[in-house]
Amino acid sequence: MRLPSQKYFHPRKSEYWQCVDRNDLVITCAVTLMEKDTRDSSGQWTKQAISELVPGETIFFDMSKGIDNEVLCNWIKYADTIIGSNIQFDISYLRRFRNEYKFLLDGRHTYIDTTIAAYLWNELSSSRSLKKLGPLLGQFSYDESLASDHRFNHPNDHRLKRYNCQDTHNTVLVLAELAKRMPTNTHKFTPFCINHYSQAINSVITMSDSGIPFSSLRLEKMREEMDAQIKSSREQAKDIDLRLGGKGSHISKTKFFDEAITEIQEAGNEDILDLLDKTEKNKQVSHSKRNRIILMQYLPQHSRLYQGLELFGKFQDAQKLLSTYLYPLLLHKRNDPTNLNASLIPLMIKGQEKYTRFFKATELTGEVDELQSKSSPFAETLNRCSDRTPQSLTNRFIDSRVEEVADCNAFPSWFITPSKVKNDSGSQGGTIQGRITCKDPHAQTFPSSIKECICSRFKDGKIIGLDLSQIELRVAALLSGEQSMIRSYQDKRDLHADRARTLWSNYDTQPDTQKQRRQVGKMMNFADLFLASANTMREQVYAQSGGDINLPLDIYQQVVRTRPEVRPQLNKWQKQLLIEAKVNGVIELPFIGQSRQFSNIAAERSEIVNFPVQTTASNLMMQIQGAMTRNLKAKSKKRKEPLIFLQVFDAVYVDTPPQCDDIVVSSFQEAMDSVMQPSGYWGMLCKYHNQELLPLEFDVETSN
């Protein structure tokens, strides 16, 4: 017997795609006890307390034995702190493995994770695993067989036991050494910082357990619509001598783009090429969405070239929706049929502890024979799991699917700390900003059309979205002390309309143009935060308005010129940040201690002023979500608990059973109120920056 290679790192994916029995999700476990409790007199974990940790005895558990599970459950019951490496993975598998662990690991523990400690110590280091951190910190190293991806032959293999015990023992060594090496005079690893990340781990585990509920029927209907849109765009494009897709399409699109550029240049815009993105290899004008939008801004809407670019946009958007979202959710990664990481998993049939895979009735014929052929990447899985193939379904079950109730879940992988670089490959989150992210699927970037396919798993339930209102702008107002923004929020004024008034003095006397001008004011506000150029503002306003707002460039140039007068404190604060980054090479945030190093100030201006705003906003959302999770649990003891399943930076989404709307909204309200208390994160920030309490608000969105 050889233990199976783990391909998927979520318990539901392991069960469904690798056919791992729920009772086999956790085979072995090890726990290392501490020599002594090193916490201070108040019982809090501090950097000093963690640096003094010394590993004691290590206990090995065979999870197939009842007595071992009983001992482990008792240990978890009486413990108040759990230390681990990538601990959310271990906790998620234990909670799914047996119900006892789900009840015991309910978020009451303090979680301390070495991967988070490694990030706080050095955010540029890619060495966050135990195998890499041990030698790097001079603490330990595994022998060659264990340092590689070694496969063990049996749960009782003595090398597996030794490896498990070494891992837990070494986790303590690494954590203590990282605490010793944390910079002095920093907020890294303060009690507040430790508690913040413990809450974040619990929030991520909660969302990971819940999964994102989808209606497969809605997704399938959208896939058909996108296929039709692609076909229609291609047919219409032929009439204007433009080939979209297939042989010769690249040459045809290049010719079309060249024609558009020539016409724009002949109309007097000779510098148009300077605005367009070029391919890295050949330095040719790329066929990107950004370039298409820029060209359309300069072309008459009735022209053949404009219409061709518009058709190309519809074709491009439909292709992206299919490739990035619909294919991975409904089938597999577009170009890799063996990659099912983002694929939907059916909800369990009530009363049955097994899954049933769904297929459209029209897809049943011949589907199984094809998938079970020797050449199919699914052959081994399907042959071992015949009860999960389409043959096991009845037409009655398939036809019983309805759009109003979810019949499947997506289970993304969540990442609490940012990556070293902006790259979503491998086992990192793919963002360099200090906020939680997810992938497989990339649920935080779902377009509105995909979000419309999310629906409640509860009969007559709702999806409730709770969105912190203009949180990044409020954070920037607080951090910079920008009085014009602070006054708008304290007086409950419309900040976007106020910004538009700085550009149009007749804003209030021209009601017919207010909607358009307010949209520009909104873009101006965010452009102020991130030092966006006039060209960038123009492109984004045009794109976000669907081409309805196409103002001259000089209007946006005026916005850039007048920033120091319109937002004086914000402008001064941004300049100070740039100086700090240049002098120190790093910016660190208070209370939680996230930091980011910068080396190329000229190229990273936007990132430098962006980092404190986005990361602080993310911290605030995590604080609120952590408190909301506790509130929901306390309020739901006598009824079904609403399930938080997704966070999109400044918003959380909750799958809400019938008659539970009130506890969802009140739980968020109470959580938001708690962070505004003097001891709460927002209250502490206001005091730190010598500002009166800046009010927070939120919006509620409900869908069925």
pLDDT digits (tens, 9 = 90+) for 523-532: 899 999 999 9
For residue 263, the Cα-to-chain-centroid distance in whole angstroms is: 42
DSSP 32: E
Q: Which two tokens stand for residue 155?
A: 């749960």
DSSP assignment of 499-512 equals: HHHTT-TTGGG-GG
Mean per-residue pLDDT, 309-323: 95
**Nearest Cα residue to 397 out of 433, 449, 346:** 346
Mean per-residue pLDDT, 133-150: 74
**Nearest Cα residue to 624 out of 655, 665, 660, 658:** 665
Mean per-residue pLDDT, 50-61: 95
Q: Is the peptide bond preceding residue 441 cis, with omega within 30 degrees of 0? A: yes
Weakest mean pLDDT among 39-48, 288-297, 421-430: 421-430
Q: At a CB cut-off of 8 Å and minimum separation 6, what does 453 contact?
A: 214, 215, 218, 219, 222
Under the banding of pLDDT at 50, 70 and 90, the label for residue 405 is: confident
Q: Which two tokens stand for residue 18?
A: 């690798």
Mean per-residue pLDDT, 10-22: 91
Helix axes 87-97, 191-210, angle to 10 degrees: 40
Under the banding of pLDDT at 50, 70 and 90, the label for residue 319 is: very high
**Nearest Cα residue to 29 out of 89, 72, 78, 67:** 72
In degrees, rounded to 5, the angle at the alpha carbon of residue 61 between the alpha carbons of residues 59 and 63 is 165
**643, 617 contact by CB (below 8 A):** no
Mean per-residue pLDDT, 335-349: 86
Weakest mean pLDDT among 129-133, 329-333, 424-428, 676-680: 424-428
Q: What is the pLDDT, as a whole number, of residue 360?
A: 35
Residue 595 CA: distances (Å) to CA of 179, 560, 688? 16, 29, 18
**pLDDT of 385 strictly over 70:** no
Q: At a CB cut-off of 8 Å and minimum separation 6, what does 96 contact?
A: 11, 12, 15, 22, 25, 102, 209
Q: Long-range CB contacts (< 8 A, 24+ apart) of 493-502?
A: 494/518, 495/470, 495/525, 496/521, 496/522, 496/525, 497/521, 499/524, 499/525, 499/528, 499/566, 500/524, 502/562, 502/566
Distance (Å, whole) CA 372 – CA 141: 44
**pLDDT of 124 strictly over 50:** yes
Residue 524 CA: distances (Å) to CA of 37, 472, 518? 53, 14, 9
- For the chain, percent of residues with pLDDT exceeding 70: 88
Distance (Å, whole) CA 289 – CA 160: 51
Distance (Å, whole) CA 368 – CA 397: 18
Q: How many CA atoms lie within 13 A of 76 on its CB side?
A: 21
Q: What is the pLDDT, as a whole number, of residue 210?
A: 96
**pLDDT of 211 strictly over 50:** yes
Mean per-residue pLDDT, 122-138: 86
Q: Long-range CB contacts (< 8 A, 24+ apart) of 160-168?
A: 160/28, 161/28, 161/30, 161/60, 164/28, 164/29, 164/30, 164/60, 165/30, 165/32, 165/58, 165/60, 166/140, 166/142, 167/30, 167/85, 167/130, 168/30, 168/31, 168/32, 168/55, 168/58
pTM of the model: 0.89
Could you list the beta-strand ranges (E) of 36-126: 55-62, 81-84, 110-113
Q: Classify 191 as helix, strand or coil.
A: helix
DSSP element (H, E) containing 373: none
Residue 158 CA: distances (Å) to CA of 62, 140, 384? 12, 20, 29
Weakest mean pLDDT among 415-429, 594-608, 643-657: 415-429
Weakest mean pLDDT among 67-81, 251-265, 482-496, 534-548: 534-548
**pLDDT of 233 strictly over 50:** yes
**668, 466 contact by CB (below 8 A):** yes
pLDDT higher at 334 or 340: 340
Q: Which two tokens stand for residue 122?
A: 């050095």
pLDDT digits (tens, 9 = 90+) for 467-522: 999 999 999 999 999 999 999 999 999 999 998 898 888 999 989 888 888 888 89
pLDDT digits (tens, 9 = 90+) for 440-463: 999 999 999 999 999 999 999 999
Residue 558 CA: distances (Å) to CA of 115, 459, 502, 547? 46, 54, 10, 21
Mean per-residue pLDDT, 1-5: 54
112 bridge partner residues: 83
Q: What is the pLDDT, as a whole number, of residue 433?
A: 63
Distance (Å, whole) CA 4 – CA 151: 8
**413, 350 contact by CB (below 8 A):** no
Q: What are phi and psi of 80, to 5 degrees?
A: -120, -5
**Spatial strand order in the sheet of 698-703:** 643-647, 651-656, 462-468, 698-703
Weakest mean pLDDT among 82-91, 296-305, 382-391: 382-391
Mean per-residue pLDDT, 392-417: 69
pLDDT digits (tens, 9 = 90+) for 556-585: 999 999 999 999 999 999 999 999 999 999
**Nearest Cα residue to 180 out of 253, 248, 121:** 121
The most distant pair of C-alpha atoms in the chain lies apart, rounded to whole Å, by: 83
Q: What is the pLDDT, as a whole number, of residue 398?
A: 44
**Nearest Cα residue to 410 out of 347, 363, 352, 465:** 347
pLDDT higher at 581 or 145: 581
Q: What is the pLDDT, as a whole number, of residue 529?
A: 92
**Nearest Cα residue to 304 out of 250, 232, 255, 246:** 255
